[in-house]
Amino acid sequence: MWQKYLDGREMGFYQGRSGFDPARPSLLLIHGAGGRGEAFLPQLSNLKQINVAALDLPGHFATPGPGRRRVEDYAEWVAEFLAAGPLRPVVLGHSLGGAIVQELALSHPELVRGVILMSTGARLPVNPALLAGIKENFLPTVETIVGWAYSRGVDKLLLRQGVEQMAQTDPQVLHDDFYACNQFDAGERLSRLRLPTLIVVGAEDKMTPPALSQAMAQAIPEAELRIIQGGGHMIQLEQHREVNQAIADFMGRF
């Protein structure tokens, strides 16, 4: 069974609708900057042959703070969660979550069976104007971030929901998430990542363009790359059927 606590504190935890079956492979989902576990609702609802669960990172929605300023610190928090429980799942990370999963897999490969890196990169540079805007002009900056995160012609409901959810994040936590992205650099270390790896990116991703995923696929020895047409940065919501199929195909190995 999945655990739902760390150090005696309740945390934001979301389990797939099909519940838990020890005969199935397990998948843990890690969200991006300013996000929450609910960013994976299409996966939690529809990946029925997998024990799927998602977390809220520290300082995000239902998990108590503080947030973190370094990818390494978020990765250690996830490592503590995994080490305290019975499961060794495949771990999927989206955007900042993808950086966290890279760090986790490099630092604690014994805790995971494989990794899925979605809409992310080995480096995640952030425009200084965005960091300043989060502190000085919060809501318009959130609207800009969410606008970048989707492809052309996306359902406006997704945009509204994205703004509403990110705007509920503490501005300092959101700033520090993007600061952590900006400081992250897996660089030459990626060649040491020896776990089975699936890399998924949207062809229209403006925040972490496909070239970043292609570079990761070349650096990681056991990596498979899937580029999803018609998807932006929030590909798990926009093109969830294609994303879920890619995940299910990969999870069939375990």
Return the closest-CA partner of residue 38 out of 19, 14, 16, 17. 14
The dihedral built from the CA positions of residue 197, 241, 235 and 63, taken in this order, carries a sign that is negative
Domain hosting residue 155, numbered range: 5-251
Instruction: Say what the pTM is.
Output: 0.97
Burial of 22 (0-12, 13-18, 19+ CB in 10 A): exposed
The number of distinct structural domains making up the chain is 1
Cis peptide before 66 (omega within 30 of 0): yes
Local confidence pLDDT in tens for the 254 residues of the chain: 787 766 677 899 999 988 899 999 999 999 999 999 999 999 999 999 999 999 999 999 999 999 999 999 999 999 999 999 899 999 999 999 999 999 999 999 999 999 999 999 999 999 999 999 999 999 999 999 999 999 888 888 889 999 999 999 999 999 999 999 999 999 889 999 999 999 999 999 999 999 999 999 999 998 999 999 999 999 999 999 999 999 999 999 99
Tell me the CATH number at 73: 3.40.50.1820
